[in-house]
Amino acid sequence: MEPEKVSSSKENPKEAANLKIIQWEDFEQELARLWSLSSALIKAKENKNSLQQKLESLIQVRSESLSRSNELEEMRQKLEAQKLVIGNMLMHSKVVAEGLRNQEEELTIEIRSLLVAAKVLSMASKQVQEANRLLAGERGYIHLENLLMMLKKRRQYMIAQVSTLYPVKPLTESTYVEKPNSSSNNSKSGLQLTSLPLKKMSLFNDKKELLKSAGALGHVAHAVSLIASYLDVPLRYSLRLGGSRSYIIDHAPSVEPMPSDSTSSLLPSTNPKPTEFPLFLEGQDTTRATYAIFLLNKDLEQLLNSIGLMSLGPRQVLANLNELLRTIQSQEI
């Protein structure tokens, strides 16, 4: 056998170099060692396979853990989003609750106001019912008619006193104020008013005529003021009485010339102070006095309109006053 080994080693020198010559006496030990190594190798392979299985199991567990971790992260994000939505809803609910509280307070105040108004309305209803009860029978209406008749007669009596104090006789002559002649058959006392001058008069006219005109206008102004108070009519153009130096007041804004760069133009004054116009001609601008008479006639027109009559004309001061006195004293109102 040895010559064959030598020949084979010659044929493959690399394998011959790896060959190990074992003596027969050591063969059993070597065989036992190889068997032990083979068993260890098998056990190592088994351990390897077991470790590989454990590693794969760990990898799978790790993968599942990562997947679960991702799912938990998504759930956490969803939870945060839900928390944000819930927070917004809580804020909105707080705002709504605050608004509801405010509305409740407002409704409470309105309910209290309605209760107070209901009590007032109930009291007013009771008063109306009481008034209706008082006026329901014949006695109630008769009492009311008697009061109205007394009021009408009282007004007519007071107007009659004004007519007695200032008897008006529109004439075509140019006299303005006449004292009734004691020898005449006229039973009325006081001042008799005739036609007023509406033509322009200069400052050089007869002073006596100017005084007569001023006195007549003062008496007419006084009569108009008394009648307006008795009829409870607020005059559009109020009067400042002063006898023959009376004034009539225009509350409309006055128009004054305002200078400009090129030409002068009339612009309304921003001064709210009313303008007074004289009811006399002496020492005054005739335009202002004429306008004062025009405003006085407008007051008479207002009084005529209050009792359902029309003015007799824009220059008929005494005629309008006479018509006013005559109608109020008649049974037409």
Half-sphere exposure of 222 (CA within 13 A, CB side): 20
**Is there a domain that residue 157 lies in?**
yes
pTM across the whole model: 0.50
pLDDT bin (cut points 50, 70, 90) of residue 190 is very low
**Is there a domain that residue 327 lies in?**
yes
**Is there a domain that residue 221 lies in?**
yes
Q: Give me Rg for the CA atoms of the chain.
A: 63
Give the per-residue pLDDT at 116.
93
pLDDT mean across residues, the chain? 78
pLDDT bin (cut points 50, 70, 90) of residue 145 is confident
Give the per-residue pLDDT at 305.
93
Residues 119-135 pLDDT 10s? 999 999 999 888 777 77
**Is there a domain that residue 107 lies in?**
no
Give the per-residue pLDDT at 261.
46
Domain count along the chain: 1
Distance CA 288, CA 9 (A): 162
Cα 271 versus chain centre, distance: 29
**Is there a domain that residue 325 lies in?**
yes
Q: Write the CATH number for 308.
A: 1.10.418.40
Q: Give percent above pLDDT 90 in the chain.
A: 27
**Is there a domain that residue 76 lies in?**
no
| Choice among 17-26, 47-56, 72-81, 223-232 with the minimum mean pLDDT | 17-26
Q: Are 172 and 147 in contact (CB under 8 A)?
A: no
What is the phi-psi region of residue 133: left when phi exceeds 0, alpha when psi lies from -120 to 50, beta otherwise?
A: alpha
Residues 84-122 pLDDT 10s? 999 999 999 999 999 999 999 999 999 999 999 999 999
pLDDT bin (cut points 50, 70, 90) of residue 286 is confident
SS3 260: coil
**Domain interval for residue 310:** 152-168+204-252+274-332
* Average pLDDT, integer, range 188-203: 47
